[in-house]
Amino acid sequence: MFLVVVAVWIFALLRRVVAWFLRAMVNAPARREGSAERGSAPGIEGSRRLVRDPVCGVHVAEYRAIPLREGGELVHFCSVACREQYVGSQKKLAANG
């Protein structure tokens, strides 16, 4: 009976190790691609950079922010509504000269 319990425990442990290994293999390319685009992938532990929304002033984690490249500058927003408000105000300023 003891050998059966040990065999089941070893089988469960091996199953977890294989699942962990396969999960790491599947997620590895996605992490590398995300880190090349944004500087750091959200799945990697460590400090995360906060950016400030220019419309409402809310601080948002950079990987969650909605980016907008405008005139060579990258601006981050907390929501699509704030981004649209910013774009609308920029158009008004350009029209008024």
Q: The pTM is what?
A: 0.47
Task: Using alpha carbons, list the distances in angstroms from residue 77 to 32, 58, 73, 87.
Answer: 24, 8, 13, 11
71 band by pLDDT with thresholds 50, 70 and 90: confident
Residue pLDDT, tens place only, 13-70: 999 998 888 887 776 665 554 444 444 555 554 458 899 998 998 898 988 898 999 8
Please say whether the beta carbons of 38 and 62 come within 8 A: yes
Q: Tell me what the mean pLDDT of segment 78-93 comes to.
A: 83
